[in-house]
Amino acid sequence: MPRSSVRRASLGIAWSLLIASAMGFADADKAPAAPRAFLDGSGPGWRPLGEADFVNVNCDPATWTWKDREVHCTGKPVGVIRSVKPVGNFELVAEWKHLQSGGNSGIFVWASEESLAGIKPGTLPRGGIEVQVLDHGYSEQYEREHKKKPDWFTTHGDVFPVGTSKMKPFPPVAPGGQRSFPTKQLSKGVNQWNHYYVRCINGEVRLWVNGEEVSGGSDCRPSKGYLCLESEGAPVVFKNIKIRELP
């Protein structure tokens, strides 16, 4: 090939690479698209849950404060509020953030009437499937106190049965055989909003954290009951709680 042709070909390749590189940088500057599972609770059948949709079980009157689309929880005393009526198959979306390092909370699904009956302030339901809402500082505190990393819980969306309830956890499973550990570490830290999408159908619970499925379980018993929000010692805020009940 003549030298002039070689030079023209080389210049053409270099120019193409330069354009491709520029396009790559431009794409990098764009905000990443939300994952397809990042549901916002819009569309047919979805409805928001507010103050009128919950009743106090064993918290103080001032434990939960509703304003607009948010509900603020002081964390004291330990206890729950529950949905006005029990639900069977449903989808739920909720955003949450802890206001204190090491904060602990949770969303209970399928808590039976018996598991909530007569529980006193300072105690939690005797049944239900808990979708844990736990700040990373809790793990750090555990490590400082016990001089080892926790192996029986995580801060990224554990799902597990409580009390009399039963569930077959999806792997990976905690050493005790009860908790479904998340497959990815996606939860954000204190004072940052996290997004949960929880799907509960035919005795199966699945959790998506910030757009990706991470944990859950099957063969849940019971598979109908109340939805509860948990107060457990530290301030936490929930917002944009929405539900879609399914056949």
What pLDDT digit, counting tens, does each position of 2-22 carry? 444 434 444 343 444 333 344
For the stretch 54-57, contacts whose Cβ atoms lie closer than 8 Å and that sit 24 or more positions apart, written own/partner, are: 54/81, 54/82, 54/83, 54/84, 54/229, 55/81, 55/82, 55/83, 55/84, 56/81, 57/81, 57/82, 57/116, 57/119, 57/125, 57/228
pLDDT band of residue 37 (cuts 50, 70, 90) is low
Strand partners of residue 101: none
Using DSSP's 3-state secondary structure scheme, residue 115 falls into helix
pTM value is 0.84
47-245 folds as Jelly Rolls (2.60.120)
Those residues with Cβ within 8 angstroms of residue 144's Cβ, 6 or more apart along the chain or in another chain: none
What pLDDT digit, counting tens, does each position of 164-192 carry? 999 999 999 999 999 999 999 999 999 99
Average pLDDT, the chain: 89
Tell me the C-alpha to C-alpha distance, in Å, between residue 106 and each of 42, 44, 71.
23, 27, 14
pLDDT band of residue 40 (cuts 50, 70, 90) is confident
Q: Give me the pLDDT at residue 241, please.
A: 98
What pLDDT digit, counting tens, does each position of 90-126 carry? 999 999 999 999 999 999 999 999 999 999 999 999 9
Distance (Å, whole) CA 184 – CA 212? 8
Domain boundaries, the chain: 1-30, 47-245
pLDDT for residue 51 is more than 60: yes
